[in-house]
Amino acid sequence: MKKYKIAKLLIIFFVVLCISTSLHYGDNLLLGSFSDFNNDDVKYLRSAKTLIETGKLTYKDVSKSTVFIMPGIVFFLVPFVKLFGMEDAIIFVQIVQAVIQGITLYLIFKIYLKLFNEKVALIGLILNIIYLPNLYITTVILTETLFTYFLVTCIYFLIEAIRNKKKKTYFVAGIFWGLATMFRASIALLPIVVFFIWLVHKYTIKEMANFAIVSLIPFLILFTPWWIRNYIQFDRFIPFTLSSGNPMLQGVFINNDIDHELIAKLNDENLVYTNDEINNDNVERKMAGKVFKYYLKNDTVNYIKWFLFGKTINNLKSPYYGYELYGIDFETERIVHLVLIILSIIGMIKAKTKEKYLIIGLWIYFIVIHIPFLSYVRYFYPIMPIVIPLAGNLVNNE
């Protein structure tokens, strides 16, 4: 258990480093401006302030209720903004995020203890600590830290549930699946991955049905208030958000290079943007469909290559590292990122445990679920700390 103590010391070091980084760089790490509210971080903080003052969840327009974002991040920020105000809340959020990220990395360490052994788990933890996006993400006010924590916790309990086949463990996994979805709706279809893992472990149909229902119950409990709110506010059933139109429209262009002239040319329905975000989402969805059909017909081979390979390469080739920390530039971190991906793939191939298919399935899930949308490395960040420790399996002799 000596490596357990080393792991805890490493986690403490990592948390202290995260907090020190936030204190050192201060407002330089803010993505947007409080005068223009021109990025997600400041908009989330403003949404928390508006929710406190009016009881309404808003985003782009503080006078209108929104269904553009999932509510998790705003509700997380509310107590900080209420106690300290929008700007002064930032450092306290960063401190809490540092602690949460430390817990996340420790849970990943414990996951790899279950899957492999202390040596692999400890090497994986060290690799995660030197992977700078894990540090950087704690300094920005985005969904990634909380989403990754809930996702990792869900995976932790899923591995245990798959092994012990206990309903209460599946129920707990369902809670964290629901909480993760409250921050990012993209994880809502996680049960597809679990279904294939059940097949690998030769679950019976009866077992699958029972555990699926048990896992779904907490998810439904968590989301029922959200569905009721959306129906009251927008007079329609909205399971998650109506905000995929913009990343979908950007994502249908090769290399995300938007051609505004082509959009205008294909707009034969005279689709018009308004102040209504639901209308605008509908406009962008329809235009995305038109552009998709146009390229599929007129540049078939290149377009299929872009969708099947180009997007995935774009998502994987770079880290989510938005600020040069301690003089370590983006290109250096990109090399580290690529080396870790290659080593993780090799470690994955070498792994013999059946539970590795949950990690593999999750990685494939992240690739497939984001294919229709803008290729953006931020979308892929949460999977990285989960797969990086697979590189530690290269030294595993068991």
| pLDDT one-digit tens code per residue, 274-306 | 888 888 899 999 999 999 999 999 999 999 999
Q: Measured between alpha carbons, how far is 238 from 232 in angstroms, rounded to an integer?
A: 11
Cα dihedral angle (182, 187, 189, 193), rounded to 10 degrees? -140
> Is residue 83's pLDDT more than 90?
yes
- Between 191 and 273, whose confidence is greater? 191
> Is residue 57's pLDDT more than 70?
yes
Instruction: Tally helices (H) and strands (E) across the chain.
Output: 19, 0
Tell me the C-alpha to C-alpha distance, in Å, between residue 104 and each of 53, 139, 155, 208, 332. Answer: 32, 15, 11, 28, 25
pLDDT at 352: 84
Cα dihedral angle (222, 225, 227, 233), rounded to 10 degrees? -150
Confidence of residue 227 (pLDDT cuts 50, 70, 90): very high
> Is residue 232's pLDDT more than 80?
yes
Q: Measured between alpha carbons, how far is 388 from 56 in angstroms, rounded to an integer?
A: 40
pLDDT at 257: 87
> Is residue 108's pLDDT more than 80?
yes
Q: Tell which residue, 195, 233, 3, 224, has the closest CA to residue 118.
A: 3
Confidence of residue 245 (pLDDT cuts 50, 70, 90): low
> Is residue 398's pLDDT more than 70?
no
Confidence of residue 111 (pLDDT cuts 50, 70, 90): very high
Helix/strand/coil for 227: helix
Tens digit of each residue's pLDDT (9 = 90 or more) over 352-373: 888 789 999 999 999 999 998 8
Q: Which of 116-125, 152-161, 334-343, 372-381 has the lowest mean pLDDT?
A: 372-381
| Burial bucket for residue 346 (CB in 10 Å: 0-12, 13-18, 19+) | middle
Q: Tell which residue, 225, 37, 29, 227, has the closest CA to residue 139.
A: 29
What are the sequence ranges of the domains in the chain?
162-183+189-239
What is the pLDDT averaged over residues 167-182? 98
Helix/strand/coil for 325: strand
Confidence of residue 229 (pLDDT cuts 50, 70, 90): very high
pLDDT at 361: 94
Any idea which residue has 């679920």 for tokens?
A: 369
Structure-block tokens of residue 187: 């994880």
Q: Which of 96-110, 119-133, 153-167, 268-282 has the lowest mean pLDDT?
A: 268-282
Tens digit of each residue's pLDDT (9 = 90 or more) over 142-166: 999 999 999 999 999 999 999 999 9
> Is residue 385's pLDDT more than 80?
yes
pLDDT at 269: 80
pLDDT at 318: 95
pLDDT at 381: 96
Decide if 390 contacts 348 (C-beta within 8 A): yes
What is the pLDDT averaged over residues 29-35? 94
pLDDT at 1: 63
pLDDT at 50: 98
Q: Taking all residues of the chain, what is their mean pLDDT, rounded to a whole number?
A: 94
Structure-block tokens of residue 118: 């202390």
